[in-house]
Structure 1
Amino acid sequence: MNQSKITTTVGLNIGKIDISSVRLNFWDLGGQEELQSLWDKYYAESHAIIYIVDSSDRERLEESKEAFDRMISNEALLTVPLLLLANKQDLQGCLPLEEVKKLFSTSPALIGQRDCKADAVSALKGDGVHEGIDWLVQAVQRNSMNRPPTQKDIT
């Protein structure tokens, strides 16, 4: 597959994944600054966060970190599990997972006591994606006392 055909999310994509007896409904929210003001509209219904960092775009890492800090500071997300994915690990010159972790873990007070994991992935190749989703399902199940599913979440 030609990587130049893969683009960033513009706007909002909605989807679902069924894994065993669990259905994950997800919102893929575009990271453009003008769209970030819409993010908090989805937080109250969220049971977890997957935050994807483009580890090949060193010029925008600080901007991504600022958006990350604003997001995890939101009261509606204080107890939900967090999966931080350093994407594009298949590209030469990308920032390795340990460097991404170092940059994104500078705000332990914001991360708090939530279940948290960081992984290296290549969405293009699928490397690490299934492992991350499996961890997320388990984390959401562990967190069901803090954030129980709503009736519409149950299928």
Structure 2
Amino acid sequence: MGLMHKVIIVGLDNAGKTTILYQFLMNEVVHTSPTIGSNVEEIVVKNTHFLMWDIGGQESLRSSWNTYYSNTEFIILVVDSTDRERLSITKEELYRMLAHEDLRKAAVLIFANKQDMKGCMSAADISKYLTLSSIKDHPWHIQSCCALTGEGYVEICPARKC
């Protein structure tokens, strides 16, 4: 087996992290319950192996996120596009991660999830709020998506044979 790339999927509770993990894995919606600790799955895209860690996002678990950072190459941050009230917490957590020594080489993919919901913020709104343009030392990309339908994964998701 070739090199294994480590990916962590983070975000606040109920953002859609686990649903996204299983969309990547099986191209189907898995009804999930809150993740206590983490889920981990291996995903292969064009012979590249990714070990994807989906980490619980409840407040009490966020302080342990850094125990997963070692050797992480990619951060997937999942944002609930309807959750305006907690976007400031997401922002805080994002910049705390980016400042962490173990993540200094990590690239960031932000999923603006729940784009199918009425009144959701657009990826551009979220990008502006999170001041993504100020991130200079990490490659980053923001992508609108809907975890339930799989919309927005076309370019990225192995199950969709990109």
TM-score bracket relative to the smaller structure: 0.7 to 0.9
Match of 1:76 in 2: 102
1:84 match: secondary structure: strand
2:125 and 2:32 mapped to 1: Cα distance? 24
Q: What is the aligned counterpart of 1:125 among 113, 134, 149? A: 149
Describe the shift of the 1:107–1:43 C-alpha distance in structure 2 as closer, same or farther (beyond 3 A): farther
Q: Please, which of 53, 73, 91 is the counterpart of residue 47 of structure 1?
A: 73
Q: Secondary structure at the match of 1:86?
A: strand
Which protein has the bigger strand share? 2
Q: Which has the higher contact order (CA 8 A, sep 6+)?
A: 2
Give the C-alpha shift of residue 107 in structure 1.
7.4
Aligned-pair CA distance for 1:22? 0.4
* Residues 62 and 73 of structure 1, relative CA distance in 2, 3 Å threshold: same
Q: Distance in 2 between matches of 1:77 and 1:116?
A: 13
What's the secondary structure of 1:131's corresponding residue? coil
| Whole-angstrom distance in 1 between the partners of 2:150 and 2:102 | 30
> Partner letter of residue 125 of structure 1?
T
Q: CA deviation at 1:133?
A: 4.9
Q: C-alpha displacement at 1:102, in angstroms?
A: 0.3
Query: C-alpha displacement at 1:106, in angstroms?
Result: 5.6
Q: Count residues in correspondence.
A: 129
Cα distance change on mapping 1:10 and 1:91 into 2, 3 Å: farther
Of 122, 130, 134, the match for 1:96: 122
Once the two structures are TM-superposed, the CA of residue 132 in structure 1 deviates from its matched residue by: 3.8
Gaps of 5+ in 2: 1-28
Alignment of 1:19 onto 2:45? yes
RMSD: 2.1
Question: Which consecutive aligned stretches of 4+ in structure 1 deviate over 6 angstroms post-superposition?
Answer: none
